[in-house]
């Protein structure tokens, strides 16, 4: 009842009446480590690593029998040179020469059908064309002349030396050993001081005070050798005080007060040295010099990027300028996060009862700032309203995906801009004017919450063999608030989320709904102009806990049966969740995303962006803290978040039943059932999913795809001049035919991407110059496609997800005897549900937005089988041992004190989705899975190492999908059709993209990823120097067998690298750093750490 969840108590050592201490030193150096499997595969050098941990501890008396102290210093220095690869253009591509293999898709040296070898030499017939002189696009005629971007392309971008990433012919990788002087997490440069003082006030009263102070330094590491590093620092501090009072022989009171605080500071290369005081412009000279290289527009710096996903500009597969110098939310920020805890526990023993009653009060807050993603003005490169025409119709044999890459490379070389972003903010609820990047680049927010709890527990020794535990805990979790009153929510709460369509879920999927009004946003919570609660208080958090332990008296030996049931509430906030969501909600910020089409032009590049003075972007609305703001229907770029009106505290029920038996003295076997049931788990629900059914959009899409003409598209496009097609009049040129010819839409239609086309009609400003213009042009309702057309996304934060977990656990434990101790555990388990109560900002992707129950599946943490074993063996040599007990003293010194230890683990693979990039059910928060058109076994996955690759689905390969029925194909959709299928060794199709408007039949998490087996070993030699002083030398071998720890394979059926594994489990596949490879992460190759220690 005190805290019904599993508990781990970490306690600082106390001093005693004697002085004792230790000095320690540990080093892990790459000279002793094995080479990573993937480095061997790619012929890369072994990454250099030197990690040193050193320090010491000392404890003893201040006043004998009265006061004692303990001090620990634990420092670490980390230096690595990591073999790292990231995308660059090939030498020909940066000159505008695009190469391709006619009749097949370009693929790197690690793909199933590679176009190049490991040295970049073509393995297939190759043809080429010039992106400027052969494409002959009227707008993109030459390389950009803007110095900042031109220098990135021609001066700072290295030449490739790794052809296992990108497409091999036009995009490859630069692999280099980058210097890393500390990383986030455990691989940092750390300085830590721990101290504790215990003072015996009186015979019955003791005071303990402890603290831990730490500073961790690391870098934000550059991606290119010509790029720039940022900095990062973390400052965790812990302070605790405990007063223990023995009131009587049967009554004990413990009073505790503690404070935990952390500080986190990061600076991008543009902002080094800044923000230490009241200004955000106090950069170092080097940072200011770098800032001055950016294009300047009316006094604003303009950062050039290829993606701004938060603003609706999707990521691309060619080049991300962050590889040269990064800027964004995570790169420049700072925070200060303290928590106070005050608690008291009273224990009373009365007869056969041991009572405990207690309570605690917690207050915590996060006072931080960051430069939001949009605050730094950005130019986003891309197609814009008039994409270049690069198809197989002009370049025979060109794969549609390769045509897209060619177009993106041309955009990058020419500096073609698809849009701009800029952010505005307020930092006080009294502000009525926006701050921009020049006036204040930092967004300050101070989130707070106060909680309290109380509990009662009785441990009752009912009989000599039966013990009962009965308890009840009450938790009151406070309502979150922002200390300066800047916490936005909808006027009317959940009812306001549906906008003009209505006030409830009944407004969904109705293109004619008209029961609501425009969504208004106000500032709520304590200290705000509208001090209503951010979400309702939940007062019903009573958590019972019962348990028993029964020793069976009639069985020989010791057999104990234990069981229990408990409830635990989970209401402590994750402040980052709210900061990333609600504190970016319109009202406290304005995130402007302006497509080039909204400027009334068909094309814009970086040169014209600067010369026309596109900055600052006009705010869509002005702050109105005392009232409310309304985002116009012509915006449609911003995400907004609302709290559900029925939000309650999540809770977890736990069940356990076990039987433990002592098999022989000091050896026990325990078999247990452990289960949990998660209820009212947090998750988010996207309301603004595109509607393609009730409005005839799917019907129009399918008819258009089959070569026909539908009146709905005539209505939407009537009298509009569609680039590459002409003016739509419904007869000479129909809307359907225009969409089949228009470069911005024909790929959607060809590939069956109905969700993406619906999103395009809802939000794009192409041709009409205003988001939603196609609907207005056709005289259709603004909510024809989404329920709330003011916004791009409308997420409702709810608490109605669930999970269930069952496990059978068996554990054999050997306590220390005859020099050996160890434990063996086997777990057979299954976890099902639609939520795990993790970070609620992790957006829920639905298979079918109309049927959430289809998301019930194996949970991400589910592992069917898990085996863990560990053991320690003191070798039986030396005095008092089995062997060499009578040997000479010098022999004893050599053979005594040896100890071997091991940890072995095996885990089944994680549940795994096979996915499709084609959005067949919607275009906002949809997870597409393929159709299983042939037999797919759940045991399909099996590791297979090939020549230069490793794959997980042997016998399967990716192939071009047979074209669907395009009818007479009047728009030559076949030329841009890019879908793929998965075939077996005989060519039989097993997996295909689902049809438009259909959910893939494979289901969620149908397959299981690679399993993981790991053995860690340790060997130690302890030598007594003199009485009271020993020296220990130890070697720890992590992954002693150097067994590869495979990451999950590529699971996109439309990828040419389907089934290939390119990462270890500690790394993350990355499409930004280098498509098809891994972002930075710890190696799983064998490491050997040498430890030396003196105890005295």
Over residues 445-467, the pLDDT tens digits come to: 899 999 999 999 999 999 999 99
Over residues 142-154, the pLDDT tens digits come to: 999 999 999 999 9
What DSSP state is assigned to residue 126?
-
Half-sphere exposure in the Cβ direction for 905 (13 Å, CA): 12
Q: Is the pLDDT of residue 779 over 90?
A: yes
How high is the pLDDT of residue 374? Answer: 67
Higher pLDDT pick, 800 / 1092: 1092
Both structure tokens of 657:
């039943």
Both structure tokens of 867:
């085996």
Q: How far is CA 302 from CA 339, 403, 515, in A?
A: 39, 29, 43
How high is the pLDDT of residue 1072? Answer: 38
How high is the pLDDT of residue 1074? Answer: 40
Q: Is the pLDDT of residue 101 over 70?
A: yes
Bridge partners, 810 (sequence order): 671, 826
How high is the pLDDT of residue 1082? Answer: 62
How high is the pLDDT of residue 189? Answer: 92
Q: Could you tell me how far CA 413 lies from the centroid of its own chain? A: 31
Looking at the chain, the whole-number percentage of residues with pLDDT higher than 70 is 95
CA distance 544 to 567: 6
Over residues 628-686, the pLDDT tens digits come to: 999 999 999 888 989 888 888 999 999 999 999 999 999 999 999 999 999 999 888 89
User: Which phi-psi region, left, alpha or beta, contains residue 955 (left: φ > 0; alpha: ψ -120 to 50)?
Assistant: left
Q: How far is CA 591 from CA 376, 430, 497, in A?
A: 11, 20, 19
Over residues 298-356, the pLDDT tens digits come to: 999 999 988 765 555 666 666 776 778 877 656 788 888 999 999 999 999 999 999 99
Q: Is 171 helix (H, G, I), strand (E, B) or coil?
A: strand
How high is the pLDDT of residue 639? Answer: 86
Whether cis (ω within 30° of 0) applies to the bond prior to 202 is no
* pTM of the predicted protein model: 0.87
CA distance 651 to 88: 49
CB-CB contact of 98 with 128 (8 Å): yes
Q: Mean pLDDT lowest for which of 16-30, 724-738, 823-837?
A: 823-837
H or E element that contains 759 = helix 754-763
CA distance 468 to 879: 47
How high is the pLDDT of residue 841? Answer: 53
Over residues 539-593, the pLDDT tens digits come to: 999 999 999 999 999 887 799 999 999 999 998 878 878 877 777 778 888 888 8
Angle at Cα 847 formed by Cα 762 and Cα 997, nearest 5°? 55
How high is the pLDDT of residue 317? Answer: 61
Q: Is the pLDDT of residue 7 over 70?
A: no
Q: How far is CA 76 from CA 52, 190, 218, 606, 1032, in A?
A: 6, 5, 12, 46, 20
Over residues 1015-1053, the pLDDT tens digits come to: 999 999 999 999 999 999 999 999 999 999 998 899 999
Q: How far is CA 864 from CA 377, 722, 834, 1064, in A?
A: 48, 55, 18, 21
Backbone angles phi, psi at 482, to 5 degrees: -110, 130
How high is the pLDDT of residue 575? Answer: 82
How high is the pLDDT of residue 312? Answer: 57
Query: Using H for helix, E for strand and C for coil, what is the string for 902-947?
Result: EEEEEECCCEECCECCCCCCCCCCECCCCEECCCCCCCCCCCEEEC
Over residues 167-184, the pLDDT tens digits come to: 999 999 998 888 888 776
How high is the pLDDT of residue 288? Answer: 92
Per-residue confidence band for 165, with pLDDT thresholds at 50, 70 and 90? confident
CB-CB contact of 595 with 314 (8 Å): no
How high is the pLDDT of residue 252? Answer: 98
CB-CB contact of 167 with 75 (8 Å): no
């Amino acid at each position: 009842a005190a805290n019904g969840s599993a508990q781990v108590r970490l306690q600082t050592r106390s001093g005693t009446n004697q002085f004792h201490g230790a000095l320690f030193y540990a080093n892990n150096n790459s000279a002793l480590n094995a080479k990573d499997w993937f480095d061997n595969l790619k012929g890369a050098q072994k990454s250099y690593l030197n990690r040193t941990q050193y320090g010491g501890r000392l404890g003893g008396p201040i006043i004998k029998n009265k006061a004692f102290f303990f001090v620990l210093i634990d420092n670490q220095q980390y230096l690595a040179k990591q073999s790292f690869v990231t995308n660059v253009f090939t030498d020909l591509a940066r000159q505008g020469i695009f190469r391709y293999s006619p009749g097949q898709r370009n693929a790197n040296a690690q793909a199933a059908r590679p176009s190049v070898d490991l040295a970049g030499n073509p393995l297939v017939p190759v043809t080429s064309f010039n992106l400027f002189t052969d494409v002959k696009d009227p707008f993109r005629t030459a390389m950009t002349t803007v110095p900042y971007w031109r220098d990135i392309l021609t001066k700072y971008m290295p030449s490739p030396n790794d052809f296992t990433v990108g497409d091999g012919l036009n995009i490859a990788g630069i692999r280099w050993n980058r210097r890393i002087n500390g990383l986030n997490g455990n691989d940092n440069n750390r300085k830590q001081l721990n101290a504790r003082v215990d003072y015996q006030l009186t015979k019955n009263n003791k005071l303990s005070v402890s603290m831990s102070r730490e500073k961790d330094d690391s870098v934000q590491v550059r991606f290119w050798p010509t790029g720039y590093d940022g900095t990062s620092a973390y400052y965790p501090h812990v302070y605790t005080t405990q007063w223990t009072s023995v009131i009587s022989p049967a009554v004990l009171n413990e009073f505790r007060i503690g404070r935990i605080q952390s500080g986190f500071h990061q600076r991008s290369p543009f902002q080094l040295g800044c923000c230490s005081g009241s200004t955000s412009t106090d950069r170092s000279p080097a940072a200011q010099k770098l800032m001055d290289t950016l294009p300047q527009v009316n006094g604003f710096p303009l950062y050039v990027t290829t993606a701004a996903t938060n603003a609706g500009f999707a990521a691309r597969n060619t080049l991300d300028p962050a590889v040269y110098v990064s800027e964004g939310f995570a790169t420049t920020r700072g925070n200060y996060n303290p928590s106070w805890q005050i608690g008291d526990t009273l224990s009373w023993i009365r007869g056969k009862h041991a009572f405990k009653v207690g309570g605690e009060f917690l207050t915590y807050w996060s006072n931080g700032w960051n430069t939001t993603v949009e605050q730094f003005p950005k130019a986003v490169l891309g197609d814009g309203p008039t994409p270049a025409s690069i198809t197989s119709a002009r370049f025979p044999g060109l794969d549609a995906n390769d045509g897209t890459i060619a177009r993106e490379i041309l955009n990058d070389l020419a500096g073609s801009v698809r849009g701009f972003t800029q952010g505005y903010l307020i930092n006080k609820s009294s502000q009525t004017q926006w701050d921009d990047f020049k006036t204040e680049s930092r967004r300050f927010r101070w989130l707070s919450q106060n909680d309290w709890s109380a509990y009662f527990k009785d441990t009752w020794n009912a009989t000599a063999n039966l013990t009962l535990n009965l308890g009840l805990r009450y938790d009151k979790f406070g309502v979150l608030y922002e200390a300066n009153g800047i916490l936005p929510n909808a006027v009317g709460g959940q009812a306001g989320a549906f906008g003009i369509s209505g006030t409830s879920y009944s407004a969904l999927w109705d293109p004619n709904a008209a029961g609501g009004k425009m969504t208004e946003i106000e500032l709520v919570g304590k200290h705000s102009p509208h001090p209503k609660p951010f979400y309702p208080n939940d007062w019903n958090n009573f958590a019972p806990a019962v348990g028993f332990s029964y020793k069976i008296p009639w069985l020989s030996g010791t057999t104990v049966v234990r069981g229990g049931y408990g409830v635990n509430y989970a209401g402590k906030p994750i402040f980052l969740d709210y900061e990333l969501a609600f504190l970016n909600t319109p009202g406290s910020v304005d995130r402007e995303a302006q497509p080039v089409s909204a400027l009334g032009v068909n094309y814009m590049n970086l040169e014209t962006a600067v010369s026309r003075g596109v900055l600052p972007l006009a705010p869509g609305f002005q702050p109105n803290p005392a009232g409310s703001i309304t985002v116009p229907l012509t915006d449609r770029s911003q995400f907004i978040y609302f709290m559900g009106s029925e939000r309650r505290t999540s809770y977890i029920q736990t069940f356990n039943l076990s039987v433990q038996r002592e098999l022989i003295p000091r050896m026990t076997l325990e078999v247990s059932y452990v289960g949990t049931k998660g209820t009212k788990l947090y998750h988010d629900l996207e309301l603004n999913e595109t509607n393609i059914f009730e409005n005839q959009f799917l019907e129009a899409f399918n008819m258009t795809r089959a070569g026909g003409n539908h009146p709905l598209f005539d209505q939407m496009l009537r009298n509009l001049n569609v680039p590459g097609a002409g003016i739509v009049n419904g007869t000479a040129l129909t809307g359907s035919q225009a969409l089949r010819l228009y470069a911005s839409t024909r790929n959607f239609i060809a590939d069956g991407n109905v969700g993406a086309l619906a999103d395009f009609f809802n939000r794009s400003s192409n041709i009409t110059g205003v988001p939603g213009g196609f609907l207005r042009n056709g005289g259709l309702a603004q909510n024809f496609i989404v329920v709330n057309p003011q916004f791009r996304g409308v997420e409702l934060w709810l608490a109605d997800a669930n999970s269930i977990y069952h496990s059978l656990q068996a554990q054999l434990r050997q306590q220390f005897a005859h020099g050996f101790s160890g434990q063996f555990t086997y777990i057979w388990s299954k976890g099902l549900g639609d939520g795990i109560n993790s970070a609620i900002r992790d957006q829920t992707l639905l298979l079918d937005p109309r049927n959430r129950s289809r998301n019930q599946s194996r949970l991400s943490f589910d592992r069917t089988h898990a085996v863990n074993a560990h053991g320690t063996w003191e070798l039986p040599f030396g005095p008092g041992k089995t062997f060499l007990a009578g040997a000479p003293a010098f022999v004893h010194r050599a053979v005594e004190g040896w100890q071997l230890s091991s940890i072995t683990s095996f885990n089944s693979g994680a549940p795994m989705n096979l996915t499709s990039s084609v959005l067949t059910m919607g275009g906002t928060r949809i997870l597409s899975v393929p159709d299983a058109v042939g037999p797919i076994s759940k045991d399909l996955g099996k590791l297979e190492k090939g020549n230069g690759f490793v794959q997980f689905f042997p016998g399967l390969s990716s192939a071009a999908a047979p074209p669907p029925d395009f009818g007479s194909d009047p728009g030559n959709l076949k030329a841009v059709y890019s879908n793929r299928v998965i075939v077996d060794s005989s060519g039989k199709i097993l997996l295909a993209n689902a049809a438009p408007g259909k959910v893939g039949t494979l289901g969620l998490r149908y397959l299981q990823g690679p399993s993981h087996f790991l053995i860690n070993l340790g060997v130690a030699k302890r030598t007594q120097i003199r009485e009271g002083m020993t020296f220990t030398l130890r070697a720890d071998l992590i992954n002693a067998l150097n067994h590869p720890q495979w990451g999950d394979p590529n699971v996109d059926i439309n990828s040419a690298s389907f089934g290939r594994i390119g990462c270890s489990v500690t790394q993350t596949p990355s499409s930004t750093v280098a498509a098809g490879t891994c972002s930075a992460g710890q190696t799983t190759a064998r490491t050997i750490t040498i430890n030396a220690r003196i105890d005295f």
